[in-house]
Structure 1
Amino acid sequence: MTYQDLLTTMTDTAHEVGELLLATPRPAPAVTFDELAASFTEVEAPGDAVVRQRLGALRPGAAWAEELDSLATLPSDGEVWVVDIVDGAVQFLQGLPQFCVSLALVRDGEPVAAVLHAPVLRETYTAARGQGAARNGLPVAPSVKTDLAAAVLATSQPPFVARQPGAAEQAGRSLAAVLPHVAAVRNLGPTSWQIADAAAGRLDGFWEFGRDDTNLLPGVLVAREAGAVVTDVDGKTWRAGCESFLVAGETLHESLLSVLAGRGPAEPFPRTPAAA
């Protein structure tokens, strides 16, 4: 079975889980973290059972990444399912629409098949290595903007960012560095979906500091297959385990690297007319 062949069952599975989520009554609002965690487990369980049955049958020998510590290194060889039943669970539990079902098969540390499905939007991103990327069956491509001042970017942070010393501080510094030079910066929910939206040109770029492999890997494949540039903030090819992440179209990627490094454009946005 080719990676492209896998996408049919992966897509059907993501849609089935999405319908389960739409039909799931949201738990009563949590007032403590323990209650929030319990609510997430309750909401995730039915979809998790579906995913394990469907995907487990496709690759019986594959491991499941969520069984690993979130900061552990993914296996460098063999196949691993990277699954998030409710990517954007915080939004889901708050009654917000920005969440998705995220499924990816990772082989030897690299994503090879990925499906992201947003039930509320009725949209699905798919990608298989060497086969391109699509949204609802139509090919996607990254932004071709050339002016950073016109760019709409997004950023986020890994879950429990306090567990990664320095990541929150880097995020704050990077936001302060980027904001003066672009049209807008947003956080639009699931990390994987925001990367896919950057791959499709809805966003002009996305960056993040800290390790966040399981959230990044599904979107990374969509971005690479769409033709976006995927690196760390030093411009090196992104790999699982990297401490930073940047995706953008080719025309803006170098400019964003410069801004994130503190060398950004000499003339901040908005530009003011020259004095008469």
Structure 2
Amino acid sequence: MLTHVIQTVEKIAATVPAPVGPAPVTLSELLQRFTEVDRPLADALRERLPGGEWVIDAIDGAVQYLQGLPQWCTTVTLVRDGEAVLSVTHSPALGETYAAERGKGAWRDGRVISASGKTSLAAALAGTSHPHHRQPEANAAAGRALPGMLDAVGAVRGLGPTSWQVAEVASGRMDLFWLFGRDAENLLGGALIAAEAGAVVSTADGSRWTGDAPDFLVAAPGLHGAAVLALDPTRDR
């Protein structure tokens, strides 16, 4: 089934048209233009995917897409009993596809991937983002945690949509990623890919992550404990 899903996602993502005209200038215009592209793409995926409960993010990175930037991807995740069991995420601009099956491993373009072997946060490339729907309490928590991570890591960058950044941690091209807020649609698939590649997936305080958790952290095994401490604003500096 995985091969079929990969082919389906790649084929349909290739049909997404380039944005036409200037970028939206109001939120309502942004939402309207996004819906005009996202809805038929999501419908096409649902029609062609095998039966089951699918979480579909047809254009993760919608803002970048509408701004004419290449940092967006299409992600589909099969969920059973609330757990992701298969996920595929494809970047048309990069021509790359991440995929994973629970208990079977994770791959980029058919090659097995694994998380970074780094053990020092000072050498780490970290990514972050925030959910598209407003969550004031999560934003406040993110603000309190940010200084500790900025002090600890080599660099913090926002390198694309949430699901793609999590997958990049899975492959070792990034070393860790964190997010404050609930964002299961964007995190379920990437979290499976990362876990199958040997990265550690948790909440910001190191607890077990689920789709309704208030925050998210994924890191290389040798960095996870230090990343949890770096995100704790109460720890001694």
What TM-score does the superposition give when structure 1 sets the normalisation length? 0.82
When normalised by structure 2's length, the TM-score is 0.95
**Structure 2 contact 18–68 (Cα < 8 Å) conserved:** no
Please say which structure displays the higher CA radius of gyration: 1
Letter of the 1:84 partner, please give it. D
Letter matched to residue 114 of structure 1: S
Match of 2:176 in 1: 205
Query: Distance in 2 between the 1:263 and 1:31 partners?
Result: 40
The Cα of 1:45 is off from its aligned counterpart by 3.2
Distance, in Å, in 1 between the alignment partners of 2:204 and 2:163 is: 18
1:20 aligns with 2:20: no
Distance, in Å, in 1 between the alignment partners of 2:74 and 2:95 is 11
Equivalent of residue 10 in structure 1, options 5, 15, 26? 5
Aligned equivalent of 1:144: 117
Aligned to 2:44: 50
Aligned residues of 1:24 and 1:43 also touching (Cα < 8 A): no
Q: Could you tell me which residue of structure 2 aligns to residue 107 of structure 1?
A: 80
Corresponding position of 2:131: 158
User: Is 1:248 the equivalent of 2:219?
Assistant: yes
1:93 to 66, 84, 88: 66
Deviations 1:104-160 (A, max 9, x none): 001101100000000000000000011100000001111111111111100111112
* Aligned partners of 1:170 and 1:209 also within 8 Å: yes
Quick check: 1:171 aligned with 2:165?
Answer: no
Specify the code of the residue in structure 1 equivalent to 2:2: L
- Structure 1 regions of 5+ residues with no counterpart? 1-5, 63-79, 267-276
Percent identity between matched residues is 48
CA-atom RMSD, angstroms?
A: 1.5
Map Cα deviations across residues 217-252 of structure 1 (whole Å, 9 max, x no partner).
010110010011000012111111100110001100
Shift of 1:165: 3.2
Shift of residue 262, structure 1, vs aligned partner? 3.2
From 257, 266, 273, the counterpart of 2:228: 257
Unaligned runs of 5+ in 2: none
Please report how far the alpha carbon of residue 13 of structure 1 lies from its aligned counterpart in structure 2 after TM superposition. 1.4
Q: Is the 8 A contact 1:116 1:126 kept in 2?
A: yes
Write out per-residue CA displacement over residues 34-80 of structure 1, whole angstroms, 9 at most, x where no aligned residue.
1111100111133223202101xx11xx3xxxxxxxxxxxxxxxxx2
Residue type at the aligned position of 2:189: P
Which segment drifts farther, 25-34 or 100-109? 25-34
Q: Is the 8 A contact 1:125 1:133 kept in 2?
A: yes
Equivalent residue letter for 2:194 = A
Runs of 4+ off more than 4 Å: 263-266
